[in-house]
Amino acid sequence: MLWKIIGWVVIGFVALFVVSFIFSIITAIIGLAITIVTFGLSIAIVGALIFAAVKLYQTVIGSGSSSSKSDEIDATPEEILREQYIEGMIDEDEYEKALEDLLNRREGNADKSSDKEIELLQN
């Protein structure tokens, strides 16, 4: 009878060990799956943030605009002035004065005090 009890106790411990081992494997697999999903979501979020930062940088700097550098080289002084006014680099009074100075210069009535307009065009 004692041997029978010891046998059942050993079988109980072995069964407990096997169930514990199987439970550990299942939780490890679930933990690995959660880790993989979390890693994938983290990569997606970081990628989206980088993409948004690049687009914001392009918008702020202006390299994301539809005009390329070759278009800017071919632009007339009036177009450059208009672009500077639209982008807020110069206000309305500066725009009108620079445009008037530019038109006067073309007519041969250039005012010697139009250095500001020349400086704006060079930027």
pLDDT 10s digits, 56-102: 998 888 754 555 444 556 778 888 888 888 988 888 888 889 888 88
Euclidean distance between CA atoms 120 and 123, whole angstroms:
5
**64 vs 1, which has greater pLDDT?**
1
pLDDT band at 116 (very low <50, low <70, confident <90, very high): low
Is residue 46's pLDDT more than 50? yes
- Overall pTM surpassing 0.75 (yes/no): no
pLDDT 10s digits, 69-80: 445 567 788 888
**Buried-state track 39-71, b at ≥16 Cβ within 10 A, e below 16:** eeeeeeeeeeeeeeeeeeeeeeeeeeeeeeeee
